[in-house]
């Protein structure tokens, strides 16, 4: 049965119709002449275009971007959370350092205690003569 499958695989693509479809790639040619389609349909690209326009009815000729910044600054004066967000975007988040006493290094102590059964890894030794409460 393996012989038959091997013969079928070796014949694949050798049919005259398959061979007639083969055309050599032209040197220097482009397989995709139009290229990748543009991303004009994404919301982000549309927003980037619209945000630079002046909204209808704007008397001072300010763009959407300028109005958004103004609204953000005005809101930040009333809302501490918005002010914090604005400052973090402008200055970056405040670095919260971690240090030990007197700005020294942090010292970590690990203390191992011995259990009542004489075993420090938490498992109990099987001893039928002793009850679990006996020393």
| Residue at 12 is within a domain | no
Q: Which of 26-30, 81-85, 125-129 has the lowest mean pLDDT?
A: 125-129
Average pLDDT, the chain: 79
Report yes or no: 66 and 73 within 8 Å, Cβ to Cβ: no
DSSP 98: -
Question: pLDDT tens digits, residue range 12-54?
Answer: 777 788 778 777 777 777 777 777 776 567 788 888 899 999 9
Q: 89 and 77 in contact (C-beta within 8 Å)?
A: no
- The total domain count for the chain is 1
CA–CA separation, 47 and 63 (whole Å):
13
Band of pLDDT at residue 56, cut at 50, 70 and 90: very high
Cut 0.75: pTM above it: no
Q: What is the band of 63 on the pLDDT scale with cuts at 50, 70, 90?
A: very high
pLDDT of 8:
60
Residue numbers of the domain that contains 73: 64-93
**Residue 77 domain-assigned?**
yes
Domain contains 80 = yes
């Amino acid at each position: 049965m393996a012989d038959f499958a091997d013969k079928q695989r070796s014949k694949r693509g050798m049919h005259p119709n398959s061979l007639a479809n083969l055309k050599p790639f032209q040197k220097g040619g482009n397989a995709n002449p139009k290229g990748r389609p543009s991303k004009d349909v994404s919301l982000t690209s549309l927003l980037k275009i619209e945000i630079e326009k002046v909204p209808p009815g704007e008397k001072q000729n300010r763009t959407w971007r300028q109005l958004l910044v103004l609204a953000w600054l005005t809101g930040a004066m009333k809302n501490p959370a918005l002010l914090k967000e604005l400052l973090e975007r402008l200055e970056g988040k405040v670095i919260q350092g971690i240090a030990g006493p007197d700005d020294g290094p942090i010292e970590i102590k690990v203390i191992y205690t011995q259990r009542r059964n004489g075993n420090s890894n938490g498992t109990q030794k099987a001893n039928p003569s002793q009850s679990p409460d006996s020393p």
